[in-house]
Structure 1
Amino acid sequence: MAFPERFSSLPEYAFPRLRKLLDKHAPGGSPISMTIGEPRHAMPGFLAETLAAHIDEFSVYPPNDGSPELLAAISAWIGRRYRAEVGPERIMALNGTREGLFNAALALCPETKRGKRPVVLMPNPFYQVYAMAALALGAEPVYVPATEATGFLPDYAGLPRETLDRVALAYLCSPANPQGVVASRSYLTDLLALAEKHDFTLLSDECYSELWRDAPPVGALEVVAETGADPERVVAFNSLSKRSNMPGLRSGFCAGGVQSIARIRQLRAYAGAPLPLPLQRVAEKAWSDEAHVEANRLQYVEKYHIADRVFAGVNGYRTPEGGFFLWLPVADGEAAALKAWVETGVRVLPGAYLARDVAGQNPGKEYLRVALVAPRDETERGLQLLRQCLYA
């Protein structure tokens, strides 16, 4: 039997790879999982009541693009959060942002760019669905280092002109997973100008936008509104997984220009799986309420401060500006993750598992990604054990 070769270069996914590294060894203490970015704070109290009130709507097919009420709630949230007028016709509800980040590429990437194979840019390290989308398209994924030397954001403008002229799509995550940095207004403004100059679309992954330390991160839609840039240059993605502690709801959205969203909607109509209507009702309520979001954010801010205290004096430690990951410097991520597990029972992810080797270099090799998702006391205990084990 013949199988496609376009995915043959993919390494094993991060978490099966981690299990192979760690599970043959006994933990050195009561296990503490700090690997996956799965929020463990309390879900908002209105979830059960809203779901129960609309339980009968499981009996109908849900609106493919999102119910009018949900799209209106998202539109209003974008207006409050980013001071941008984005009507419902420029929004589509998603079954989680991973679906949208993949399908937007399928819907928007041309088969060729200037008569050549198109390029899809992504930061390195990165959320692995970006590479899957590029490979599924037959496009060329270009992994651009997002390292300390570049401020942990990709320097797309520094790429050769012949590469930029072939770019069809460019992914960006801000606040960044895994590094926790936030793209500035000037960074996004310059990136949109680059997209206009070289005729490509920015896919802006903003699912950590409501988890921040000092100030709300700027968003791509906000910069479009401020600068008067072409709305078709951007598709922004967000979800309720991190903002509202509901990763199992699988509810997100994408927003962009009318033409881009129309193409994404058309693809969904043929091949997508819309969110069940009772879950859309919960999402509508969640996008309309900020009290639970603020309470959630303050818990992460407290854990930022705990991490700062625990890792004070560690050479190369950086406090996150947003999101819920620490990007901890170590000599070797795999060796450090194994040592932490065997000696303490704390389970963390080697940074190399989130990146690709380019020219013999992996920008995640000398890092660990540590998720701050557990309750406060468990998080503090895990961080203290890591400090004692890896930095004594």
Structure 2
Amino acid sequence: MNPLLSRLQPYPFERLRQLHADVTPNPAYPPISLGIGEPRHATPQLVKAALTDSLSGLASYPGTLGTPQLRQAMSDWLARRYGLKVDPATQILPVNGSREALFSLAQTVLDASQPGATVVCPNPFYQIYEGAALLAGAETWFAPSDPARNFAVDWAGVPEAVWAKTQLVFVCSPGNPTGAVMSLAEWELLFKLSDRYGFVIASDECYSEIYFREEAPLGGLQAAAQLGRHDFKNLISLTSLSKRSNVPGLRSGFVAGDAAIIKSFLLYRTYHGSAMSPIVQAASIAAWRDEQHVAENRELYREKFARVTPLLAPVMDVALPDAGFYLWAGIPEIFKGSDTAFSRELLALYNVVVLPGSYLARDAQGHNPGAGRIRMALVAETAECVEAAERIVQFIQSKVH
């Protein structure tokens, strides 16, 4: 067996299952789960129609590069969304969801033969970043985050000795679980560091289309273009239809950016067996070419957050995020910082599942930045999310009083 597998930690949801294994939920309440970030809004009819209308594609082997029509649809979306000019022939690749691409990109760009090869990750973070780094034979280093800035990453806080060994940096903007969006100034600093030390930046942007401000979140490629980096040197952006179009089971997204990296990534994927099904390609074209369903989806989330956040704010440290569908909330002092105890008691007394924040971070620089917080995924219908929030308020008030 691959000895690197022993370096992997249990996935957060497996840890959550173990945490709740001996908990008996209160049967007086119907179960509500805010634990897993799985979109539950309806899949657009246009996507379903494109799937069923293209079943003849099952008779053909797909190419890893995808059809020109698919890559053009992706390029057109980048132009509409970010005002970018991206070559569909050399700067875009379809992928089977952003998770698969995040993992395989690391296997493509990392050279574990170099002493101390390092991957820098945000903290808290999406655990695929860590797994991808470890299974590529690299070390991980968790960049500090600033609670005063919604846990935005403090790139300047990474020591020079770490940057000197860094080959890959994972960025998540909008962030999971915090919803923080990187500013142009933060991107400029990261680009300068990349130029100085030569590392690749993988920008995970799968939550980019769920936002609550007037201005849409800044993307990595967009930031590069605004700073005159039109070749997207050492930058790969990853995006997905899962959250944007409510099709997590479709497993469809794309990567875009530095043509030299895309060329190597295509070579890796050709051997890796990562070609997208022809019927998924047809459905993806339909999804990327339509914005109406995306705007409608965004409004559903806006309504939920507008109703749920004010309910929780008086009893928890919680605020409307910049983007994404998570609330990243600090628990009251009466729980003594134990997010795991909060999660267990909430399930036992009110039959609501939330994910402990400490499961989404690692102990680094002397502390776990997720400790004392919980992540709530507002993916269910509005009424269910509101009921969950009301139960959480009752739970906290019962402890305080």
* TM-score (norm. length: structure 1): 0.95
CA contact (8 A) 2:117 2:166 kept: yes
Task: State yes or no: 1:210 paired with 2:216.
Answer: no
- The residue that corresponds to 1:303 in the other structure is 304
- The residue that corresponds to 1:169 in the other structure is 168
Aligned-residue offset at 1:54: 0.7
Aligned-residue offset at 1:26: 1.8
Using the alignment, how far apart are the partners of 2:138 and 2:242 within structure 1? Answer: 29
More displaced 10-residue stretch of structure 1: 165-174 or 184-193 = 184-193
Using the alignment, how far apart are the partners of 1:161 and 1:306 within structure 2? Answer: 44
- The residue that corresponds to 1:65 in the other structure is 65
Amino acid aligned to 2:302: V
Using the alignment, how far apart are the partners of 1:313 and 1:24 within structure 2? Answer: 31
Aligned-residue offset at 1:151: 4.1
- The residue that corresponds to 1:250 in the other structure is 251
Amino acid aligned to 1:154: V
Aligned-residue offset at 1:4: 3.9
What secondary structure is seen at the aligned counterpart in 2 of 1:168? strand
CA contact (8 A) 1:122 1:130 kept: yes
Amino acid aligned to 2:348: V
- The residue that corresponds to 2:334 in the other structure is none
More displaced 10-residue stretch of structure 1: 8-17 or 333-342 = 8-17
Task: State yes or no: 1:356 paired with 2:362.
Answer: yes
More displaced 10-residue stretch of structure 1: 380-389 or 8-17 = 8-17
- The residue that corresponds to 1:341 in the other structure is 347
Of 368, 373, 396, the residue aligned with 1:390 is 396
Q: How does 1:169-208 map to 2 (within 5 A)?
A: 169-208=168-207
Task: State yes or no: 1:10 paired with 2:8.
Answer: yes
* TM-score (norm. length: structure 2): 0.93
- The residue that corresponds to 1:261 in the other structure is 262
What secondary structure is seen at the aligned counterpart in 2 of 1:56? helix
Using the alignment, how far apart are the partners of 2:112 and 2:316 within structure 1? Answer: 46
CA contact (8 A) 1:304 1:320 kept: no
Amino acid aligned to 2:392: L
Post-superposition Cα deviations, 1:305-345, rounded to whole Å, max 9, x if no partner, equal 11222123235222211000011112211011001100110
Using the alignment, how far apart are the partners of 1:85 and 1:107 within structure 2? Answer: 25
What secondary structure is seen at the aligned counterpart in 2 of 1:64? coil
CA contact (8 A) 2:146 2:154 kept: no
What secondary structure is seen at the aligned counterpart in 1 of 2:202? strand
Task: State yes or no: 1:285 paired with 2:286.
Answer: yes
CA contact (8 A) 1:317 1:329 kept: yes
CA contact (8 A) 1:336 1:390 kept: no
Using the alignment, how far apart are the partners of 2:5 and 2:148 within structure 1? Answer: 30
Using the alignment, how far apart are the partners of 2:159 and 2:363 within structure 1? Answer: 20
CA contact (8 A) 2:172 2:204 kept: yes
- The residue that corresponds to 1:375 in the other structure is 381
CA contact (8 A) 2:316 2:329 kept: no
Taking only aligned residues, the RMSD between alpha carbons, in angstroms, comes to 1.5
Q: How does 1:29-44 map to 2 (within 5 A)?
A: 29-44=29-44
- The residue that corresponds to 1:128 in the other structure is 127
Aligned-residue offset at 1:15: 1.1
Post-superposition Cα deviations, 1:1-33, rounded to whole Å, max 9, x if no partner, equal xx4443334332111211111132221221101
What secondary structure is seen at the aligned counterpart in 2 of 1:8? helix
Aligned-residue offset at 1:143: 1.2
Q: For residues 5 and 362 of structure 1, do their structure 2 counterparts lie closer, same or farther at Cα, with a shift above 3 Å needed?
A: farther
Aligned-residue offset at 1:232: 2.4
- The residue that corresponds to 1:219 in the other structure is 219
Post-superposition Cα deviations, 1:200-242, rounded to whole Å, max 9, x if no partner, equal 1110000000000012000001011111225122100000000
Using the alignment, how far apart are the partners of 1:359 and 1:223 within structure 2? Answer: 29
What secondary structure is seen at the aligned counterpart in 2 of 1:292? helix
What secondary structure is seen at the aligned counterpart in 1 of 2:143? strand
Using the alignment, how far apart are the partners of 1:150 and 1:106 within structure 2? Answer: 32
Aligned-residue offset at 1:160: 1.5
- The residue that corresponds to 1:141 in the other structure is 140
CA contact (8 A) 1:168 1:201 kept: yes
CA contact (8 A) 1:126 1:178 kept: yes
Structure 2 segments unaligned to the other structure (5+ residues): 332-336
Aligned-residue offset at 1:390: 2.5
Aligned-residue offset at 1:391: 4.7
Q: How does 1:10-159 map to 2 (within 5 A)?
A: 10-28=8-26, 29-88=29-88, 89-112=90-113, 116-149=115-148, 151-159=150-158
Amino acid aligned to 1:164: W
Aligned-residue offset at 1:149: 4.5
CA contact (8 A) 1:213 1:321 kept: yes
